[in-house]
Every structure is written in C-alpha cells, then in structure tokens.
Structure 1
Amino acid sequence: MGPVAATGPAVGSRAARLRLPLARQVLEAVAVDNGVCLRPLAMRRIDLTTGETETVPVPCGATLASKCPPCADRARRLRMAQCKAGWHLDDEPLPDPDPPTDDAKTLVQLRADLEAVRTDAVTSHDVEQITEADDLISQVDAALTDLGVRGTTAPEDRERPRRTRSTRRRQDAPDLPRLPVDRRTVGRTFTAPDGTVWRPSMFLTLTCDSYGRVTSDGTPVDPTSYDYRRAARDAIHFPKLVDRFWQNLRRAVGWDVQYFAALEPQRRLAPHLHAAIRGTIPRVLLRQVAAATYHQVWWPACDRPVYAPGRLPVWEERAGGYLDPDSGAALPTWDAALDALGEDAEPAHVVRFGVQVRADGVTANNANTGRLIGYLTKYLTKSLDACHAATTDAQRQHVDRLADALRYEPCAPGCANWLLYGVQPKNPRAGLVPGRCRGKAHRRETLGFGGRRVLVSRKWSGKTLADHKEDRKVWVRQQLAVLGHTDTGGQDGGANRVVWQLLRPGDPATPRREHLLLRAVADRHRWRAQLDAARAARGQPDPVSATDPLLRDAA
C-alpha cells in the first residue's frame, strides 16, 4: 500500500475556517504596507473661519515596534536622518548669539541695582521692602524675556544647600590630560598628496566591565559566581558614566566634541554604547580616556538589607515618615543618611568601562557610512530585553536572574527599595513597598537602564528632532506646490485658524479604530498620488513607494 498523500483540512470544517485570515488582520497588514499607524488617535479638526469640523486620524508616535511597527519605523528613520545630518559637517551648525541690545543692557543694569536694594533690605530685615524688590525684579526679568533674551540673569532660588565631595581623582584611576576646551565642534582636516582634503569622523563603541565568564550565547559559565548585583548597578548608573566620558574627552582633546549615540545591550545583557563622533581623535587617547573615566555613587550603603519583604518599616502619618516595625523608632531620613557619610567614607558603587574600546574612522563619502548609521539605530524599535531573542532555557534564566537583582536594587534617592536598607527614601510618602518601585530601571524591558536610548549632543546638527521632521514636511509641500497644492491639509496647516481637540474613547463622536485605519490608508493613497504627479511635473517620473521615508515621515 502506497503512502497516503497529505491533504488539507476538509472544506467547511473548523480547521479550514480558522485558516482564513480575519478581516481586521488584512486591514492591519494593508496599513503596515502603507506605513499607516495601527493605533491612530482620533482628533477633531475645527476650522475657526468656516466652523467646519472633521475627524482626522493622527499617528500614535510609538517608538517600539511591539506597540506600532509603522510609527516605530518612522521614528527610527527620523533618527537616522538626524545622525546623518550632523556627522560630517564642515562648518559650525549653530551661529554665535547676537550681541545684546542697548535696551537689554539697561534692563540688566536696573536688575543689578534692584539686587543691591534687596540685599540691603535683607540685611535690615525689612520684609516689606524685600517683597517690593522681588516684584520689581520679576517685572524686569519679564521685560528681558520680551526683548528676546534667553534664560534668566540670576536663578530665583537664592539658597544653595549643596553637599560637596572632594574632586580629587581616585588613586586607582589613570591621570587624564587636560586642555582648555575650544568652542569649535568640527574636526581637523587632512590633505592627501594629490591635494584632496579630508575631514574624517569616527564610530566609537564602549562596553561595560566583565562580571564573569560567559559562553557564546551570552549566558554565564558559572551563574553562582556571576556578579549580578554589580551588573545591575552598572546598568542603573551607566548614563552618568557616559556623561562623564564626554566631559573627560572634551577636556582631553581641547575642543567641543559632538556625538550621536545609541544604547543597546550586548548578548550578555550589559549596556553597550555605539556613538558617531564628528571629527577624528587618536585611538590611543580614546582608550586612555575610557580607562580613566569612572563615576562614583555617593549613596548610603546598600549591600546588606536590614529588613525583609515580610518585615518592613511602617508608615506613620503624624510623623510623616517610616518607623521600625519593632521599636517604633523613626528611620534615618535621606539627608541624614548622606550626612552620616564621613570624609573617609567609600562610595556605594563605582562604575567603569570595560577594556573593549573600538574606534573606526569614517569619511563623508565612505560606502560604509549608511551601513554604520543603520547599525547604530538597528535596535531602536525594540525594547532592550527583546534586542537578543532568548531561545534557550539558559538565556531565559539569565534574564530572570538579572531582573531579580534589579527588582530590589535602589534606582534613585526616592526609590522605595531604600526601606529594605533602613533608610527613608527622599520625599517619603505612604504606600511605598520595596520591590514595587515604578522607576524604569526596574522594568524587565529596560534591563536596568532608565535613561534615554538615544543621546545627542546639543550642537550635533543645529536642529532638534522636531526641526528635522519639519524639514521633511517642507520638502513634501515644495513638491506639491508645483501642482498648486498650497494647503496639504496637514495637522499644522493653518495653525491660526484651526483648533485641534483629542476625542476620548468614551466620546460618542469617536470613530471605531477600523474606520480610522481605513481613512488613514485612503489618505495615504491620495497623498502618494499627489506626490507622484508633482514629481512627474518636476521631471522625476519615478513613482513614490507607499513606504517612502519622506512621504512616511511627512505624514
């Protein structure tokens, strides 16, 4: 008897019906193919001139693909454009501030006189004159703001209770060269023998220190000896270490280094930083700065818990703090615990970089520039715990052990986990439970990193992310202006005569999500047809894809 041929489910059976795609799934697939947000917000657009109203689907703006793939991809492409715009600049991206006007100088002189009057009033304890001087100072500051002066001449908070520590470097850290920091942000140029002038830049990779031997899949060889506590603390305080690195690097090279950096986890789940640096720096100096950079955490000791989850301090409403469950004595406040640290005290933790430092040179016309930008932003659409898939039991257990270490590790002065170590958190309140802190560092998807995933220096491109997004909208409007489309119906069109209102889910006028998706897909097809016609009129016959970055980011 021959083999029986494999057949599909019988027509009309339940298995056959379940294989048919759902209409909602087809709609979502079409939306993704067209770059349309899967979770649009219903916004009511009101024309103040005509009184006409319409409901417009607005993208949710999610940055993670697990929430909305089209919006996450749009955000990633915008970051790529931001990275490319500032990496290989030849000129300074920001102009120098305009000189102050005579009116501004006059107001500042008046502000100085008022400050002297207030100081005399404080000395003589004249409360009425102090109040009058404060009112006049506020009026002068408001007048300076009206003149276009940025910032304030002096902070409003006159008290500066600051706890200082010695700035002397640690004895176990190498010394750093220190130069006066010039204001320039572009790197030096190099001239080839044929006369070609090059202005190279760099791609830098920094990693954390080792916490124990790991296998090729990132799991520890010996989980019992792997230092999960230090790994958790390094992840929590890694942003401070990165900030200190850029400070040290600028002082070492003598100019204002600019960077575009993104954080991602290594396979062993330790923080891993990739950075695009404008200008070139000797690799020896980069390694020297990385080895000499550290961050000291001056917190109360948190190595040995004083209490356990079953025996925790209790809140006392009248005292406004937490008390010992046995003796009823008040726990030390946060400020008192810091004051108890003597001059000879050791920091609670010291964060350092690992020995792996890689720096590659890149030029503006290098074929690898686009690839490196894509590599720099490849994980921005994923949560940190999803960057590397945990496919084995050992990998899943490794993530669980790190998450357990992060659960009870203090993440900030106001973290509820300080109650385990006999210290009241900063600004305590009722209901704090150790292990249930709402800080981002304790979430499984962040792996202890509570800071921003993308770090961009202030003078990278001279533009904010909103400015880069507006540039793409301007490009689309310029294309459509060829056909006479002066009003694209965008969300910011006619800002002076249009009002936007968010429709809440309980509002009877809120359309269903499926109807919003259909409307958004139709709008996307209409915009694509208009843009194709405009490009054809400009002599660019190639049609625009439904997922073209320029069209998608301008939506």
Structure 2
Amino acid sequence: MPTVTGKTTRAERMAQPLAREVAEQIAADKGVCIRPVSLRRTDIATGHTEVIDVPCGSTLASRCPACAKRKRSMRRSQCEEGWHLTEEPEPAPDDPTEVQQDWVAKRAVVTAERDRLSDEGGASAEELAALDAAIADLDEEITASGLRGSVAPSSAPSRPRRARSTRRRQDAPDLPKRQRKNTTLGRAFTDPASGKVFRPSMFLTLTLDSYGRVRSDGTPVDPATYDYRRAARDALHFSKLVDRFVQNLRRVAGFDVQYFASVEPQRRLAPHVHMAVRGTLPRAEVRQVAAATYHQVWWPCADEPVYEGARLPVFDEATGDYCDPATGEVLPTWDEALDRLDEDPGAEPHHVVRFGSQVDAKGVVAGSEDADRCVRYLAKYLTKDIAECHTVETPAQEAHVDRLVEALRFEPCSPRCANWLRYGVQPDGAKAGMVPGFCRSKAHRREHLGYAGRRVLVSRKWSNKTLADHKADRLAWVLEQLGVDPDAPDIEKVGGVVPLVNGSFAWELARPTDPDVPPREHRLLRAVGETLKRRARLDAARSPNLSATEGSAA
C-alpha cells in the first residue's frame, strides 16, 4: 500500500508485479505462444503488407508452455492412433503413371547427353551449365508429378564405409531368429468363449546397468566408487543401443515391429526408455533380446589424456592442422587414427554399452484404462529437459549432478568433438578455435546429462502420419466445425492466427525493432483476444451439433 504521503517506497515498487510478466502469464493461461515469431507478409499483386505472429513451436515448457502443450498433445494423438492398428498403416505404392514415366525418361536422355559431353571433354562450360539447368528443371517436374525421392543419387564423393567383423561378442548370448513376414501387425488372438479377435501390444521399459549402489533419492552410497565414466559414456551412446535393440527385436519377432518410445532419466540420472510396441512377444524372449543387445563404439582410445592443462595442441593456420605444442609434430587425423585401429588385430572398442538386467514388459489391450495410462506416461516428460524431469532437492543430488557433468566434460561425444585433442587426435573436420572441455554439443550441457538424441522415437510405419499430418487433421476439424471450406479461393484468417488466404505472397522475418512491429506485450494481448474470439466462435459453431447429437441419443 502507498505511504501516507501518497508516494511508494522502492521496496513497494519492487513488490509490484511486472506488466510484461503478467502479459506472459495471461497468454500462457489462455494457450497462447509467449515467444511468437513476427513475419512480414507482402501481397505481390497489391503491395499490401501486414505483420503476422506465428507460434515459436518450442517443445520445452520452460520456453513456451502453450507450444509445448500442443506438441505433447499431438504426440499423444500419434501414439494412440498407431499403437493398436488392425490394418497396415502404409499402403503399397501406386503404379507410376505414363506422365511420371515420361518425365523420368526425358531426364535419362538429358543426363546421358550431359555425361557424354563431359567424358569427351569437348563441351564448353556454358553447354554443361545449360544441361545442368535442364536436369534441375526436370527434377522439379518429376517431384511435382507425385514421385517420391530422387531418380539419381548424389554425385558428391562419399567417404568409404569401414567394414568390421559382424561376429557376436563371446560375452553376449545368441539371438533366435524367425522367418520374416512382410507385416507390421502382431499376432491376433481369438477368445474361445466369445469368439472376439484382439491384437494385444506391449509396453516396455529398458534401463542401463548399475554403476554402484544408490539411495532412494538416486545419489550414490559411495561417490568415490561410483563409475561416473561408464555412466557418462553409456548416456552418450544410449540412442545407438536403443536402435540396436529394435533391430534385434524385429529379428526375433519375425515381423516389422513398430514402436513409439520416449527417453527420460531415472533418479540416478541414467537415461532409460519407455516403449509402446505394436504386437506382442513372450516376456522371456523380450528379456533375452535385451540381454543379447549391445553396441560397440569403435573409436580411438580416450582413457588417458595426452594433453591437458596449459599444454594443449596448437592450430597451424598454414596447414589447417593441430600440432604438438613442443615438437610441432602434426597430430593424426581422425581417419588416420581409425586406420591405426583397423590395423591393430588386438584392438578393443572404445566402449561397449548394454542394458541392465531390469526389463519391464507387460501386455496392453486396446481401449483399456491401462493403455490410456501408458500413453499418458509416455508423454509425461516430453515438454521438459532431461535434467528437469527430476527436481534437484538436496545438496547430495546437486553434487551428484555436478560429478556427472564433470565426467562428461572431457568425454568425446562424437567424431567432431573438440575433446579428441586432449587424447592426441584431431577431430573429424578440425578447425581453429577448438578447445578440449568446451565442446558445444548439447550432450555436454548440464540440462541434457549426456543424452543428445531425440526424446521421442517413432518408427516410420507407426501411424503413417507425421506431426505435420496430425496438425493438419486438427486444422481440418476446426474448419469443419466452423463450416469453412479449406479449398475456397479466398478464406479469411481463422481467429486472426492461421493465414489461409490463397495467393502469391513474399515472406520475410520482421525484426522487433522494425517500426511496423508492435511491442511484444501488445502482440501477446492481441493474440489472447483473438484466441478468445476464436474459441467463442468455435463453441458457438459446435453448440448446434452437440444439441443435435444429444437429441438423437435421447
């Protein structure tokens, strides 16, 4: 409250909420993006321009709660639609039309002429450029005709793939193998009593091995003996292990297993995966697959540092290589280091990552409460960073995070990681300014805890829909409720948010300092107002439909 003199003290002013934060809070409560991106749209025919705010599309609630909530909702829809399918989600491709075949044939003729002139060496640069332009135009026509992919692979030289032995490790059990069927659907069962046919699916949880005893809060009983190095390396390569598990599961199942999975950390900070799998297998076989799954990382040895402290390799501007600071000797390149590894018959992998013995597998039936509960669990932490999934509440937990982050600091996360300089190897694609311990990869960031892969893992034939398809489905539903024809030649913006006007426009990014861009708080409040009007319009459009439905039901 103001003082008797009518003036507010500094403490009272500081206690007053900021208008900007209030605007953000209102926008978040109403489901409006709080970090909108301003785009300037110019009608090429009339020259009329307007600034349109589009959602930022963030998947993290810490950045934008509204966008993250929408993304999580679409992921839930994607998971639900693909889990218990009874028909193949992806139909066989159509036969090519005569028009498509004609365009491909023309492309072949022009390509052959271009190759002939190039081989003979008598063509001018202008002639070759004209043929390249013609080939590019034909590629556009081929794509516009409805063909997927490219008719010709990239001509850019690629690095030869390194071949390694495919013999299984002696310390890993063998995998059974079934004859493969060209289907994504699991086995169907018939209830002998009712005759009802159903296709149960699975919900799996896979975790990494133990690194030492931990307490109930996830902190190690003895931090001195806790294997932080192995924990860091397992987290860095966890995504590869999950990919290998899916490959082995398909081999054992005998059909093209489809999955929807999410990755999150346990309380001990090690990543684990929850996976909805279409179809079912015996639990004993699932555990056998998990026990037999491993991933070997064939990288140069990075156990003992060669350079550390102030003694680090220096970059030679003339050659583009890193050299020993004392002798000037050029460090081996990434390819040279791998060549040495290939030539060593007794070489061991840099790291081998495996799952732990704890494997949870249970059957789930479509339409059950258990299925809905599993879908909610899969989407529970999708809007949070890895480190945000479990709140640090005690000094012991904070120290546990610090030790893991420190163990990750100098671990190479990829062939291009700057940490390879610490172990006497030039990173792949080395460039000036690389310093060990300061790799910019997200795997080394505190909020990721070593896991740099995707949080959501979805197989290609899960629901035959991408997130863009699910977004289009939602937009189509809104237009249907409003009675709007999406193919009409001239459509107003729905609620002033989604531009649906057909025509030719030029788009450019509008800067916040541009004179035609209102302040952010003003744009947020305007978006809130438009959102409320759009919802009111949608509710009004749905009311007659709901009344008619209730009347017919009665």
Query: Do Structure 1 and Structure 2 share a fold, with TM-score over 0.5?
Result: yes
Q: Which consecutive residues of structure 2, in runs of 5 or more, have no partner in the other structure?
A: 550-554
* Superposed CA offset, 1:19-41 (max 9, x none): 54443333223222211111222
Q: Could you say which residue in structure 1 is the equivalent of 2:280?
A: 280
**What secondary structure sits across from 2:163 in the alignment?**
coil
Distance 1:343 1:112, change over 3 A: farther
Distance of 2:309 and 2:89 partners within structure 1: 54
* CA deviation after TM superposition for structure 1 residue 106, in Å: 7.0
Q: Which consecutive residues of structure 1, in runs of 5 or more, have no partner in the other structure?
A: 1-7, 543-555
Q: Could you say which residue in structure 2 is the equivalent of 1:418?
A: 420
* CA deviation after TM superposition for structure 1 residue 159, in Å: 5.7
Distance of 1:360 and 1:414 partners within structure 2: 40
Greater shift, 420-429 or 493-502, is seen at: 493-502
Match of 1:475 among 471, 474, 477: 477
Distance 1:282 1:496, change over 3 A: farther
* Superposed CA offset, 1:459-478 (max 9, x none): 11111101101100110111
Count residues with an aligned counterpart. 533
* Superposed CA offset, 1:442-474 (max 9, x none): 010000011111011101111110110110011
Paired residue type of 1:535? R
2:418 counterpart of 1:437: no
**What secondary structure sits across from 1:538 in the alignment?**
helix
**What secondary structure sits across from 2:483 in the alignment?**
helix
Q: Could you say which residue in structure 2 is the equivalent of 1:156?
A: 154
Distance 1:117 1:377, change over 3 A: same
* Superposed CA offset, 1:133-160 (max 9, x none): 9958957766654543322345234666
Is the Cα contact below 8 Å between 2:54 and 2:497 reproduced in 1?
A: no
Q: Could you say which residue in structure 2 is the equivalent of 1:175?
A: 174
Distance of 1:430 and 1:37 partners within structure 2: 39
Distance 1:121 1:297, change over 3 A: farther
Q: Could you say which residue in structure 2 is the equivalent of 1:525?
A: 532
**RMSD of aligned alpha carbons:** 3.1
Distance of 1:280 and 1:18 partners within structure 2: 60
Q: Could you say which residue in structure 2 is the equivalent of 1:512?
A: 519
Distance 1:147 1:509, change over 3 A: closer
* CA deviation after TM superposition for structure 1 residue 182, in Å: 2.3
Q: Could you say which residue in structure 2 is the equivalent of 1:58?
A: 54
Distance of 2:2 and 2:99 partners within structure 1: 84
Distance of 1:357 and 1:52 partners within structure 2: 61
Distance 1:129 1:46, change over 3 A: closer
1:397-408 alignment runs, 5 A limit: 397-408=399-410
Q: Could you say which residue in structure 2 is the equivalent of 1:534?
A: 541
Paired residue type of 2:56? C
Distance of 1:492 and 1:20 partners within structure 2: 38
Distance of 2:373 and 2:58 partners within structure 1: 24
Distance 1:208 1:129, change over 3 A: farther
Q: Could you say which residue in structure 2 is the equivalent of 1:456?
A: 458
Distance of 1:34 and 1:147 partners within structure 2: 43
Is the Cα contact below 8 Å between 1:10 and 1:16 reproduced in 2?
A: no
Distance of 1:89 and 1:496 partners within structure 2: 39
Paired residue type of 1:256? D
Match of 2:508 among 498, 501, 505: 501
Distance of 1:530 and 1:415 partners within structure 2: 53
Is the Cα contact below 8 Å between 1:258 and 1:459 reproduced in 2?
A: yes
Q: Could you say which residue in structure 2 is the equivalent of 1:266?
A: 266
Q: Could you say which residue in structure 1 is the equivalent of 2:449?
A: 447
Distance of 2:295 and 2:122 partners within structure 1: 47
TM norm structure 1? 0.88
* Superposed CA offset, 1:271-301 (max 9, x none): 1100111111221111111111111101000
Distance of 2:484 and 2:427 partners within structure 1: 62
Distance of 2:324 and 2:432 partners within structure 1: 15
* Superposed CA offset, 1:78-106 (max 9, x none): 11111111111111111111123456567
Greater shift, 242-251 or 8-17, is seen at: 8-17
Match of 2:370 among 368, 371, 376: 368
Distance 1:541 1:312, change over 3 A: farther
TM norm structure 2? 0.88
Paired residue type of 1:462? N
Paired residue type of 1:331? L
Greater shift, 150-159 or 471-480, is seen at: 150-159
Q: Could you say which residue in structure 2 is the equivalent of 1:205?
A: 205
**What secondary structure sits across from 2:546 in the alignment?**
coil
